[in-house]
A and B are shown apart, each in its own frame.
Chain A
Amino acid sequence: MTTVLTLIEHPDGTLARTSREALTLARQLADHAGQPLHAAALAPVPDEVVKELGEFGASVVHAIEHPELDADAAAPAIAEALRQLLDELTPSAVLGSASDRGTAVFAHLAARTDLPLAANCTAITPVEAGWEITRIRWGGVLYEDAHLDAPTALATVAPHQVVAAAASMPATVELRVHAPVLDDDLHVTRSVDREELSGGVSLATAPVVFAGGRGMGSAEGFAILEELAGLLGGAVGCSRVATNAGWRAHNDQVGQTGTRVAPDLYIACGISGATQHWVGCMNAKRILSINTDPEAPMVTRADDAVVGDLHDFLPALVAEIKARQG
Chain B
Amino acid sequence: MRILVCVKRVPSPGAKITLTEDGSGIDTRHLGFTISPHEECAVEEAVQLAAAHGGTSTVLTLGPPTAEEQLRNAIAMGIDHGVLLPIDADEWDPRAVAGAITDAVRTLEDEDGPFDLLLFGNESADAGNFQVGVRVAHALGRAIVDGVKGAEVTDGEVRARRSIPDGFTVHTLPTPAVLAVKEGINLPRYPAMRGRLAAKKAAIRQLPPTPRDGGLRTLRLRAPQQEQTPTRILGSGADAAPAAADILEEVGLL
Partner-contacting stretch, out of A23-31, A110-118, A212-220: A110-118
Within 8 Å of chain A (Cβ to Cβ): is B208?
no
Contact (A100, B184) CB under 8 Å given A117-B131, A204-B165, A306-B244: no
Contact (A145, B237) CB under 8 Å given A108-B138, A119-B128: no
Within 8 Å of chain B (Cβ to Cβ): is A192?
yes
Within 8 Å of chain A (Cβ to Cβ): is B52?
no
Chain B residue numbers with a CB within 8 Å of A313 are 235, 237-238, 240-241, 244
List residues 135-170 of chain B with CB under 8 A from any CB of chain A: 135, 137-139, 143-147, 149, 161-162, 164-170
Compute how far the CA of A86 lies from the CA of B240 in the bound complex, rounded to whole angstroms: 60
Interface residues on B, range: 35 or more
Contact A117 B167 (CB under 8 A): no
Quick one: CB contact mask for A297-326 with B, threshold 8 Å, 1 for yes?
101111111111100110111011100110
> Which of A103, A234, A304 is in CB contact (< 8 Å) with B232?
A304
Contact B216 A116 (CB under 8 A): yes
Name the residue on B nearest A111 (C-beta).
Answer: B138
Query: Taking the nearest CB of chain B, how far is it from the CB of A137, in angstroms?
Result: 6
Contact B231 A119 (CB under 8 A): no
Contact A137 B187 (CB under 8 A): no
List residues 196-254 of chain B with CB under 8 A from any CB of chain A: 213-224, 228-229, 231-245, 247-249, 251-254
Quick one: CB contact mask for B160-202 with A, threshold 8 Å, 1 for yes?
0110111111111110000000111001100000000000000
Contact B14 A147 (CB under 8 A): no
Within 8 Å of chain A (Cβ to Cβ): is B130?
yes
Compute how far the CA of A107 lies from the CA of B120 in the bound complex, rounded to whole angstroms: 14
Contact B131 A195 (CB under 8 A): no
Within 8 Å of chain B (Cβ to Cβ): is A174?
no
Contact A202 B235 (CB under 8 A): no
Chain A residue numbers with a CB within 8 Å of B146 are 75, 103-104, 107
Contact (A306, B126) CB under 8 Å given A257-B183, A316-B241, A321-B254: no
Compute how far the CA of A137 lies from the CA of B167 in the bound complex, rounded to whole angstroms: 26
Compute how far the CA of A202 lies from the CA of B165 in the bound complex, rounded to whole angstroms: 10
Contact (A288, B247) CB under 8 Å given A117-B131, A265-B253: yes
> Which of B38, B219, B228, B231 is in CB contact (< 8 Å) with A257?
B38
Within 8 Å of chain B (Cβ to Cβ): is A98?
yes
Within 8 Å of chain A (Cβ to Cβ): is B86?
no
Compute how far the CA of A104 lies from the CA of B188 in the bound complex, rounded to whole angstroms: 25
The SS class assigned to the B binding surface is: mixed
Query: Taking the nearest CB of chain A, how far is it from the CB of B212, in angstroms?
Result: 12
Query: Taking the nearest CB of chain B, how far is it from the CB of A101, in angstroms?
Result: 9
Chain A residue numbers with a CB within 8 Å of B243 are 304
Contact B128 A139 (CB under 8 A): yes
Quick one: CB contact mask for B70-98 with A, threshold 8 Å, 1 for yes?
00000000000000000000000111001
Quick one: CB contact mask for A185-217 with B, threshold 8 Å, 1 for yes?
000111111111100001010011000000000
Contact A320 B224 (CB under 8 A): no
Within 8 Å of chain A (Cβ to Cβ): is B100?
no
Query: Taking the nearest CB of chain A, how far is it from the CB of B211, in angstroms?
Result: 16
Within 8 Å of chain B (Cβ to Cβ): is A57?
no
Within 8 Å of chain B (Cβ to Cβ): is A223?
no
Within 8 Å of chain B (Cβ to Cβ): is A6?
no
Query: Taking the nearest CB of chain B, how far is it from the CB of A124, in angstroms?
Result: 12
Within 8 Å of chain B (Cβ to Cβ): is A149?
yes
Within 8 Å of chain A (Cβ to Cβ): is B125?
yes
Query: Taking the nearest CB of chain B, how far is it from the CB of A159, in angstroms?
Result: 11
Task: Given A111-B135, A188-B174, output 12 extra A-B contacts at Cβ < 8 Å.
Answer: A72-B169, A108-B134, A116-B93, A120-B130, A137-B221, A204-B165, A232-B254, A234-B253, A304-B231, A305-B234, A308-B237, A321-B245
User: Can you list 7 contacts pairing A with B, beta carbon distance less than 8 Å?
Assistant: A110-B134, A192-B170, A196-B167, A300-B228, A304-B231, A307-B235, A317-B245
Q: Report the 8 A-B pairs with minimum CB-CB distance, sorted nearest first.
A: A250-B184, A116-B215, A312-B237, A111-B138, A191-B169, A316-B238, A308-B236, A297-B15
B-side residues, CB < 8 A to A, are 13-17, 19, 36-38, 93-95, 98, 125-131, 133-135, 137-139, 143-147, 149, 161-162, 164-174, 182-184, 187-188, 213-224, 228-229, 231-245, 247-249, 251-254
